[in-house]
A and B are shown apart, each in its own frame.
Chain A
């Protein structure tokens, strides 16, 4: 073992998924006891890179060195054996078991009878949780702990495995301010003890506070590095943005009617006490940008009546609507194409025809009986006008490609007349050709007088498709950008919660 070699080195890592190159020749070095922050926009490749370290994915190219020795990580267990612990954003805990059982899961000490040695497991757990300053009994069930405490238990587990590198994927996303502070202190303590930490976060403040070095990824490539001394908010944002963006914005043709659709005080349980209010014009595509977890999908679910939002007020064409359930929104012409196509947008085991007609069955029926000829006609019309590639309308949706599935979702709403169409990540997992078709369709709908609200985490898409962009940050709209100000750096600044002069407030008055 050469002491001069860093703890871990990743060289020229590439990884592709069908249709996307997630990582392209990325390198990363982590020293002993070093805290390295990894940041970048949504989809920059941070999580993929860490999942390769954690053994979740295998790289297509490149090598990993540990202590200067080449290392092949074939799976999650391999990575754990090498002293790499991964603390996911969604914690991997068993809520029904106690602290000790979680820490020693799969490695339970046995007694002479081959049963779990209960005394030993609890005694062995104590030093680890004391090290972390976690003041809970080892017999406490995990369900009874706060999320911050559960996270500590995961860290205790990492320490019990003699982890030399702990990867934390957005560890503070569901912590309170004081809990976040405690976690950042802990990260410093760990590094003082020689444990390295790779820290993924969107929160630039935290990064500046605890990281020795910041590695920025952009579009699956290394965008640059900053040491603790160099790093500043602006420099970070500059590194994160600055990609080349092809311009394919299409000017709206129709006349806009500002204030046609108004939302006031939409709330969600994700960000209690925060409100979303905005106005949208008829004929415009209003983009909603923001980092993952900013509360955009929750807003969409509230407006379309899927989730309860008691204080919300919605006005369409001057009329106040009361939306308590999905049917209310649908009857008013407000439709949602949800983020999770396969679980929320479609009944994938049913046919194209059955999916398209589902929300409008009452129009294809008399006395509660379905007029099958009418139903088929409507489905066939949508399939033809959206150019859905399907053998027949009787094909089950699960046999279609992602882009065609999304067209079926759109078809089920376009079979009625949308006044407000909310599209949540409309082109996620869709190939380039189908994307362009969906953009054309959105513009056509807007020109026809529909309000389009498009939630997207794809920067290129949000910049090129939207007529205006509302940027959300932690459950609120942090600013609205007019078309002329729709630039990547502006969006990013607002998305991380910074005020910029170009941004207009969500409501003018």
Chain B
């Protein structure tokens, strides 16, 4: 279907409806009569909520009142405290979390924060002052929770902490090896627990030839997949099977079946599996459970290289 056709169809539907009444008087009337709503809440409460949210998700196992978490970063020790009152306040306002935009204040520039987006509870950003900043200065990663299991989110947050504080960095030996092979690039980690590494399927997919848009789709299990885009190294996302199917509907993917409910999650899997995606060069580093860390490089985005890479990844996972 051509883009023009698609635009025509959607535009036709959208333009079918039109506003027939001027609402400016009604809005102005509302503005003049209403009382100030909760959006005027003092901003300084919000960083507390940010910190509280971080703790709720990242230390859920210790979800009790008055939690103190200390994270080590070199010589600095930072502590974030959530008091009982804040915890209760957070719980009480759970349904309204979407209402406030949370912006880390300068007071929290030395904290790792989970940031809730304006009125949108499906989008969280990790604010991590210790990892390279993007154009906005602080927000380094976002997670779309509509496609995310709780465990994945938790894993994601912990991963950010790990990156920040180096808990999951490769061993020095591994780093030396990587450095020799890939000019010492920094590596992003993505860690997932899964049942059977041999069942991982790597798919190579080219979304848009004209724009050199490439993607490797990794089917993790019956309900999840991870996609890696070559367009922006370091970018990955976890998608639910429905979307994974959408990714792959034009390819033959065998033995994917829906589970009866959502009870089975990634956290049920026990074997450790890591995928590292390089930031600087184009390479994938893989370390299945009980196997040696191995790096694969693809110096350019040609289809041939990507297909070879997918094949090689599959071969190694099934060795």
Q: Do A and B come from one complex?
A: no
